[in-house]
Amino acid sequence: MAYNVLICDDEKDIVSALKIYLSSENYNTFEAYTGKEALRIIEKHDIHLVLLDIMMPEMDGLTAMVKLREKYNIPVILLTAKSEDTDKILGLNIGADDYITKPFNPVEVLARVKSQLRRYMQLGGGNVKPSHLVIGGIEMDDKAKTVTVDGETVYLTPKEYEILKLLMENPGQVFSPKDIYKRVWNENPYGSESTVAVHIRHLREKLEINPAEPRYLKVVWGQGYKMEGGER
Amino acid sequence: MNKFTHSLTLKITSIFLFVITVIVFIGGIVGIGFLYEYDFYVTSVDNVKVGIFESITYRYARSVYWFFISNKENLYEVNIQKDLPIRSTNFFFVLKNSDGKTLLSNYSDQEFLFSRTYNFSHAGFTKAADGSDIKTEETYVMDCFVKKNLDADDDYYTLDRLTDFAYKMRYAVIIITILSLIVSIILFIYLMCSAGRRKGEDRVIPNGIDKIPFDLLLVFVFLIGAIEVLILHELDYINSIVYAITFCLFAIIDILLVLLICMSFATRYKIGGWWKNTVIYRVLSFITRILKKLVSVIGYFLKHLSFVKKTILILFCIVLLEFMGISIGFNDGVLLLFFWIIEKIILVPAIILVSISLQKLKKGGQKIAVGDLNYQIDTRHMFWDFKLHGENLNRISEGMTKAVEERLKSERFKTELITNVSHDIKTPLTSIINYVDLIKKENIESEKLKEYIDVLDRQSSRLKKLTEDLVEASKASTGNLAVNMVPTEIGVLFTQAVGEYEERIKNSGLELILEEPEEDIFIMADGRLLWRVFDNLLSNVCKYAQPGTRVYLNLEKINGQAVIIFRNISKYVLNITSDELLERFVRGDRSRHTEGSGLGLSIAKSLTELQKGNLDLYIDGDLFKVVLKFDISNNHYITA
């Protein structure tokens, strides 16, 4: 089944570029250049995901999203040139599912679209087995020793798996590299904590779409690492 | 009110009434004085009359006596009724010589009201036998009588009537006097109020008299008074009636003149500056103008003299005065002492003033040097060059404050501009990056085209990084970032940094060596911002360190401060100072062609300073060293 993606940006060139990328991945695309147009198209068609620019004429993206959320539960990814943290937080708080800052990498956009759609269409509300650990789109089956991200299996080394398990069992808790070493390797690090840091980086590269801006496996600089529930 | 004060007829009437009331008042005062003199207020009318009659009788007696003396030789020719100087028939007399012989008389026996006896003596000369003059003295006695029934119309009769009238009126006079005084005062006040007012005019308008200098007017009035006194003095000998009439006339004139002066004064006072229209004022102001000009000329001369010349001139004057003083008081110790004291009294305050001024200037200069630009030197009590100097210093601080404010404003403006512009750049940049990527995916045969596309790809990525760095740099340098300071362990950060950079450092052919103390060192910092500092510095290391060398990352505890040192050997010759390296967009000339925006170090420094730390660069040949300093925190736990 081909998903319907609505691209909404006042820059025609950006819309057409995104259209080319999404079409190549077999998505049906709809185009809108203002917030009002976007709302009209969502009313008429069965849209599965919206890529929404914030700064637009007539009706800006944030207003459009508030209106959209009154009726629909579809994933919305915000696109914007504003890179301030406060802007991101505001966008996520009023109902965005993800956030991409301009200038963006088309591959990253595709990955995020894919991830959001998988979660929305396939995993949404699926019942979780007791041996399963779930944080956001990451699902860990401790019996089968498998990990999936948005439904796609990722392959981890045993140590990476152990570290991820420790962090997923205690979501939100910050573990210092020393703690992780002691718990995973079962011995004192004596200066080899950096091994943990390297493993974490590898884990991030496998789990995250953009490892520099992780959604789940977060670095608390000067303190340690933690697992968080998907909202960036 | 204006209706009254502005009416001309009312004014003229009041002037007229005023003259009358003043005359009545003066008359009343004279009358009261007269009545008081004659005891009108203390005795009965008969006693008053006795006194009056006595004076008349004495006058009459005297005139009869003088008549007798002058007609002594031919008495037999005298007709008592016709020739006597008095026409009285109420007065009777018997003039006798010392022997009691009646010489002259008009006596007739009847009832008398009053009688007196007067003695007269007459000195005369008779020719002696030898021809010499012999002084003789003759004495006469005169018995005088006044008829009880005053039927003749003479002074007795008149004054009797007058006295009766005056006695009756003696209290009424006082009342009339007081009333006239009150009325005249009221009229006077009214006239003062209406002086200078005219019908249909709101302003006070001076008349011709008001334009005459006031003191000249006064002199004129006094001259008239003097002339009047002279005329009266002359008239004294002519005729009493003319005298009285003239006197009254003069009195009226004087009253009018005094009133005129008062009204003129009132007008001038209302206009304001009444003293200005006087000869004295004009003369004085002329003199002061000349003096002022003189002073200003001297002041100008002094002002345009240089400070040194001025000092020399003053010293010369002092020496000259001292010399003059010594010359005058050469032999007089007391005088010399007096001069000495005077000199010190003048000089000591002046020198103290100079010293205070210098002290103030010194303090102001120090404050400005330290950077307290709001400090203002109090130049109120300074003079000459001190004042000028103080004002100049004040102006310097004003100018600098202004410059600093301007700079802050332009910095803010710059940040805003950079943020807005980079937002606008990002949108087209997105298109460029995306379409370059799309072109890359097309099947391109030409090797050249592939090369060109690679350039486009590289440069657009660089532009992306540049815009991001630009915004961050401007925000960091203006402190436009939220800083969340929490206890941060540097050891952990080191570990994390190694984790993040392990691969990149290895790819750059470098070896990273960590050196840190056993104990955990905590500082207060915002982990995210501190990581960006590390990130920038480590990515610089990867870009610019000579492959095959070691990179040292040290943590030391020096003087209660956590000191983090990055050391590496530069790939390129560092022919640039550390300060220049820190400036935005400046890099070593040799590294111009490589990737990066050149903002990394500047951002790192700004971010470090935002976290109350310090970033210093040291270049020693090819050794490139970055030193971060933070205060060590004793707090190891995050408190929300």
With a CB cutoff of 8 Å and minimum separation 6, the contacts of B293 are none
What CATH topology corresponds to A4-123? Rossmann fold (3.40.50)
Mean pLDDT, range B77-90, rounded to an integer: 68
Residues in chain A within 8 Å Cβ distance of B613: none
CA distance B498 to chain A (A): 6
Mean pLDDT, range B254-281, rounded to an integer: 85
User: Could you report the per-residue pLDDT of B518-528, keeping only the tens digit for each?
Assistant: 888 888 888 88
Residues in chain B within 8 Å Cβ distance of A223: 488-489, 492, 527
- Position B368: which residue type? I
Mean pLDDT, range B151-164, rounded to an integer: 80
Contact B434 A222 (CB under 8 A): no
CA distance A222 to chain B (A): 4
- Does residue B516 fall inside a structural domain? yes
A101 has pLDDT over 80: yes
Q: Which of the residue ranges B237-251, B419-433, B438-452 would you say has the lowest mean pLDDT?
A: B237-251
Using CB atoms, which residue from B423, B492, B530 is nearest to A81? B423
Residues in chain A within 8 Å Cβ distance of B492: 176-178, 193, 222-224
Instruction: Tell me the pLDDT of chain A averaged across its residues.
Output: 84
Which helix (H) or strand (E) is B561 found in, with range?
A: strand B561-569
Residues in chain A within 8 Å Cβ distance of B430: 11, 14, 102-104
% of chain B surpassing 90 pLDDT? 8
Contact A177 B528 (CB under 8 A): no
Query: What DSSP letter does each residue of A178-200 carry, written as one string?
Result: HHHHHHHHSS--TT-THHHHHHH
B590 has pLDDT over 60: no
Using CB atoms, which residue from A104, A194, A224 is nearest to B498? A194
Closest-CA residue of B relative to A11 is B427
Residues B484, B487, B604, B564: what is their CA dihedral angle, to the nearest 10 degrees? 170
Please count the other Cβ atoms lying within 10 Å of the Cβ belonging to residue A200.
26
Mean pLDDT, range B204-233, rounded to an integer: 85
- pLDDT of A5 reads 92
Of B548, B574, B585, the C-alpha closest to B626 is: B574
Closest-CA residue of A relative to B497 is A197
User: Could you report the per-residue pLDDT of A102-137, keeping only the tens digit for each?
Assistant: 888 888 888 889 888 887 876 554 455 566 788 877
Bridge-partner residues for B253, per DSSP?
Answer: none
Closest-CA residue of B relative to A106 is B434
Assess contact for A150 and A137: CB atoms under 8 A: yes
Last residue of a domain, one of B175, B197, B212: B175
Q: Residues of chain A whose C-beta is under 8 A from some C-beta in B?
A: 11, 13-14, 17-18, 20-21, 81-83, 85, 102-107, 176-178, 193-194, 196-201, 219-224
Using CB atoms, which residue from B432, B488, B503 is nearest to A222? B488
ipTM here: 0.77
- Does residue B469 fall inside a structural domain? no
% of chain B surpassing 70 pLDDT? 93
B287 has pLDDT over 90: yes
CA distance A72 to chain B (A): 28
B491: domain CATH number is 3.30.565.10
Task: State how far the Cα of B314 lies from the Cα of B351, in Å rounded to an integer.
Answer: 12
- Does residue B345 fall inside a structural domain? no
Using CB atoms, which residue from B492, B514, B530 is nearest to A224? B492
CA distance B582 to chain A (A): 25
Last residue of a domain, one of B175, B207, B227: B175
Contact A18 B434 (CB under 8 A): yes
Q: Which of the residue ranges A33-47, B308-322, B406-420 would you say has the lowest mean pLDDT?
A: B406-420
User: Could you report the per-residue pLDDT of B2-43, keeping only the tens digit for each?
Assistant: 666 777 788 888 888 888 898 889 888 988 888 888 778 888
Better-scored residue on pLDDT, B391 or B86: B391
Bridge-partner residues for B105, per DSSP?
Answer: B94
Of B108, B104, B107, B118, the C-alpha closest to B74 is: B104
Residues in chain A within 8 Å Cβ distance of B471: 83
The residue count for chain A:
232
Contact B431 A14 (CB under 8 A): yes
Please report, for chain B, how many H helices and E strands are present, in that order: 17, 11
User: Could you report the per-residue pLDDT of B495-526, keeping only the tens digit for each?
Assistant: 888 888 888 888 889 998 888 888 888 888 88
- pLDDT of A6 reads 92
CA distance B431 to chain A (A): 5
Contact A221 B527 (CB under 8 A): yes
Mean pLDDT, range B471-480, rounded to an integer: 78
Give how far Cα B231 sits from Cα of A99, B235, B236, B243, Å.
120, 6, 9, 9
**Residue B82 sits in which domain range?**
24-175
- pLDDT of B192 reads 86
Last residue of a domain, one of B151, B175, B199: B175
Task: State how far the Cα of A174 lies from the Cα of B638, in Å rounded to an integer.
Answer: 12
Query: Which of A203, A221, A232 best tests the B interface by mutation, with the highest count of B CBs <10 A?
Result: A221
CA distance B405 to chain A (A): 27
- Position B84: which residue type? L
Using CB atoms, which residue from A14, A83, A221 is nearest to B531? A221
Instruction: Tell me the pLDDT of chain B averaged across its residues.
Output: 82
Q: Which residue has the tokens 């990084």?
A: B465
The residue count for chain B:
640
B309 has pLDDT over 90: no
Task: State how far the Cα of A32 lies from the Cα of B455, in Å rounded to an integer.
Answer: 33
Assess contact for B514 and B538: CB atoms under 8 A: no
Mean pLDDT, range A137-148, rounded to an integer: 84
- pLDDT of B73 reads 73
Q: Residues of chain B whose C-beta is under 8 A from some C-beta in A?
A: 423-424, 426-435, 437-438, 464, 468, 471, 482, 488-490, 492-493, 495-500, 502-503, 514, 525, 527-528, 530-531
Which ranges in chain A belong to alpha helices (H)? 12-24, 35-44, 61-71, 85-93, 106-118, 158-169, 177-185, 194-207
Contact A193 B433 (CB under 8 A): no
Assess contact for B494 and B514: CB atoms under 8 A: yes
- pLDDT of B588 reads 46
Contact B496 A222 (CB under 8 A): yes
Task: State how far the Cα of B126 lies from the Cα of B133, in Å rounded to an integer.
Answer: 6
Listed by start position, the domains of chain A span 4-123, 132-227
User: Could you report the per-residue pLDDT of B93-118, keeping only the tens digit for each?
Assistant: 888 887 778 877 777 777 777 788 88
Task: State how far the Cα of B208 lies from the Cα of B277, in Å rounded to an integer.
Answer: 13
CA distance A101 to chain B (A): 9
- Does residue B114 fall inside a structural domain? yes
3-state secondary structure (DSSP) of residue B117: strand
Q: Which residue has the tokens 């362990």?
A: B489
Q: Which stretch, A161-165, A186-190, B86-90, B202-206, has highest mean pLDDT?
A: A161-165
Query: What is the number of domains present in chain B?
Result: 2
Task: State how far the Cα of A155 lies from the Cα of B377, in Å rounded to an integer.
Answer: 76
Task: State how far the Cα of B120 lies from the Cα of B251, in Å rounded to an integer.
Answer: 41
CATH number of A132-227: 1.10.10.10
CA distance B461 to chain A (A): 9
Q: Which of the residue ranges B124-133, B134-143, B201-210 would you say has the lowest mean pLDDT?
A: B124-133
- Does residue B53 fall inside a structural domain? yes
Cis, bond preceding A189 (omega within 30 deg of 0): no
